[in-house]
Homo-oligomer: A and B are copies of this chain.
Amino acid sequence: MASALTLSNIRKSFANAEIIKGVDLDVTQGEFIVFVGPSGCGKSTLLRMIAGLEEVTSGDINIEGNRVNELPPVKRGIAMVFQSYALYPHMTVFENIAFPLRVEKLPQAEVDKRVDAAAKVLQLDQRLQQRPGTLSGGQRQRVAIGRAIVREPKIFLFDEPLSNLDAALRSEMRVELMELHKRLGSTMIYVTHDQIEAMTMADRIVVLSLGEIEQVGSPLELYHHPDNIFVAGFIGSPKMNFIKGRCTQSANGQVEIDLGELGTMALERNAPRLAGEEVTLGIRPEHLKLEQSNFSLSITPNLIEHLGIHTILYADVPGSEAFIALFEGEPGAEEGTPISIGFNKADVHLFDSSGQAVR
């Protein structure tokens, strides 16, 4: 498929501090790409460079094969939806959406046509004469999207567009955005630090940390096969549990890990170099079972949260920071009473001392 956007070795420095440290990325036409990463890792900066709001220190940005480094946003064929929506409070919804067309000096009839079409898609037809101040958060967001749509851009850029909304509205808007993507078929690049958004919306997720890409891949790829401890910990909620250990032996596609008080565990991995190294085991809270499994340990929950749909146990486990277990429904656990839990070896992630996954 055609490449919609290519970033080659993009770097960005603000006053001596290098914020983006060489990013390469190839985005296919029609893809939905999500940038995630901890606060301050450079997501917004990267997006703004693609948009043309921020200059690139070095590297190339190509859109549909043309180098656009020097072009202003509008010439790049992108449209951006800001975190704060950046609606013009003094204009009606109609005028807000029509703004890019006004700039182009399109005839009124054409403006009407396009705005109406966009408004219909976004179910804003009834609101066209209102001002943003009188709209709800979700409606505002749709207006912001409307302003992006009318331009018919090749690429949509979103910078945490849902972060200002409350939970209910957020999940609603999430669905709407995905439907919009399906309908328009445009390339979308989306910045968020919300797990669920990243997992549900992305065709591919780009995990950033400190200005570098940690891993690129489909949501389930990242969930099941994180490349390193950072991605493993970052993707999935509640967070993956990590247990420190030491590899005592590694041969014949088998590694043996000493977990201290928790005992030892053998995993099927072909990694002879691991012998003697400090390693980290990762196991997701939802992969912990009350039933009999490959490996079991006893924990004493010190806090239990009943969410109805599932139950979360917090416990102290040697070699692990906060240990969390998640069970469906309501198991009969009680705070302060030890229970035995287990997990399957197949669900275990293994990381070497540098944090890289050992598959």
Contact = CB atoms under 8 A, between A and B. Distances in A.
Interface of A: 39, 166-168, 171, 175, 178-179, 193-196, 199-200, 219-220, 223-224, 235-239, 284, 286, 303, 305-310, 312, 314, 326, 328, 330
Contacts of A310: 286
Contacts of A219: 306-308
Given A199-B307, A238-B171, A307-B200, A330 B166 contact: no
A155 to B, nearest CB: 23
22 contacts: A39-B166, A167-B193, A167-B195, A171-B238, A175-B303, A175-B314, A178-B303, A179-B303, A199-B305, A200-B306, A200-B312, A219-B306, A219-B307, A219-B308, A220-B308, A223-B308, A235-B308, A236-B309, A284-B308, A286-B310, A286-B328, A328-B328
Q: Which DSSP category, helix, strand, loop or mixed, fits chain A's interface?
A: mixed
Contacts of A303: 175, 178-179
A286 to B, nearest CB: 5
Given A167-B237, A171-B238, A223-B308, 9 more contacts: A39-B166, A167-B194, A167-B195, A199-B308, A219-B306, A219-B308, A220-B306, A220-B330, A235-B308
Contacts of A305: 199-200
A243 to B, nearest CB: 19
Contacts of A166: 39, 193
A224 B236 CA distance: 27
A328 B326 CA distance: 12
A220 to B, nearest CB: 6
Contacts of A284: 308-309
A195 B307 CA distance: 9
A357 to B, nearest CB: 16
For the complex of A and B, the 7 pairs showing the least CB-CB separation, nearest first, are A223-B308, A200-B305, A286-B309, A199-B307, A220-B306, A236-B308, A219-B306
